[in-house]
Structure 1
Amino acid sequence: MQLTVFAVGRMKSGPERELTGRYLGRLEKAGPAVGLTFAGVTEIAESRASDTDRRKADEGAHCLSLAEDRTTALVAFDEGGKTLSSDEFARWIARQRDDGRKRALFAIGGPDGHAPSVLERADLAVSLGRMTWPHQIARILVAEQLYRAVSILAGHPYHRQ
């Protein structure tokens, strides 16, 4: 199953981009052993629409265009989502793979969050906790958890309990 990250907002050069890249590089190397390949990051600029609903709709349309095919599992990172353990997240990914999903899209919304249409389409909404995180840190967290999920599924010692 292919894993793709969709993110609203451009990641600038710096330590956050480097750390995200480090985790995604590890994911790319370790994933194939457990049937998961990293297909990259699709990032779009934040919408310039004048109101929140229009901005979310514009950004959401881009996300949904990547998840039109129902063989794509869509995970929306959202403050109202479920709080999962790393093990639960890894098992969810494994179930999607084992159920024949061809792709999983992990969506990080913009400053206004996801459009209602994205949350309705999502197979899973996940919260990164009750705190608010800057976009760059949210990307690091998602990249690390994807790598951790692969490590868990591979039985690698990176994930210790």
Structure 2
Amino acid sequence: MRLHLITVGEPKLAYARAGWDEYEKRLRRYHKLTVTRVAGKTQALESEAIRRAAGKTPLILLDPRGQQFTSEGLAAYLDGQGVGGTGELAFAIGGPEGHTDELRAGAYALWSLGTLTLPHDLAMVVLAEALYRAATISAGEPYHRG
């Protein structure tokens, strides 16, 4: 499956940069991966940049209003998208103000990492790790032991 990860900016803190780099590298073993960093000084500009970056690819926004998944549930969801969908998904983390209502309305799906508010850098690492964990579950590998 092709995955496109879209973020506003990139991890700034050393721990987050190291975590992102590690899970991005691991994730590339399972998926064709594209990473796009967008900029914007306002929520509207960030959301527009995300929309443009995703293009026609189904866009899943990380948003607190979205569906929550277990790791196994995420693996099953991604497997289903790979078989019955386009074979390509874009995931986007917005900036500090989140996504605009307009971008949310046009999204393919909304995904919530949980009810906690996470710093942007940490959310980026959690996204990459969750996708990697789902990939290892689908591959029947022992990384996930939950």
**TM-score bracket for the superposition, by shorter chain length:** over 0.9
TM-superposition CA deviations, 1:91-135 (whole Å, max 9, x none) = 111111112414211100000001112211222211111111100
Amino acid at match of 2:105: E
Read off the aligned partner of 1:42 and give its amino acid letter: T
Instruction: Extract unaligned runs of 5+ from structure 2.
Output: none
Q: Report how far residue 147 of structure 1 moved.
A: 0.4
Q: Which has the larger Rg?
A: 1
- In the alignment, does 2:83 pair up with 1:98? yes
Matched, 1:38 2:33: yes
2:12 matches 1:12: yes
Q: Distance in 2 between matches of 1:121 and 1:152?
A: 30
Residue equivalent to 2:48: 61
1:71-90 to 2 correspondences below 5 Å: 72-90=57-75
Are the counterparts in 2 of residues 110 and 135 from structure 1 also a CA contact under 8 Å?
Answer: yes
**Aligned partner of 2:108 among 118, 123, 137:** 123
TM-align CA RMSD: 1.4
Please give the alpha-carbon distance, in whole angstroms, between the structure 2 residues aligned to 1:91 and 1:124: 15
Residue 11 of structure 2 contacts residue 20 of structure 2 at CA under 8 Å; is this kept in 1? no
Instruction: Please identify runs of 4+ aligned residues in structure 1 that moved more than 3 A.
Output: none
Q: Structure 2 CA distance, aligned partners of 1:3 and 1:98?
A: 14
Q: Paired residue for 2:126?
A: 141
Q: TM-score, normalised by structure 2?
A: 0.92
Structure 1 gaps of 5+ residues are: 49-54
1:132 matched to 2:124: no
| Number of matched pairs | 146
TM-score by length of 1: 0.84
Conservation of the 8 A alpha-carbon contact between 2:8 and 2:95? yes
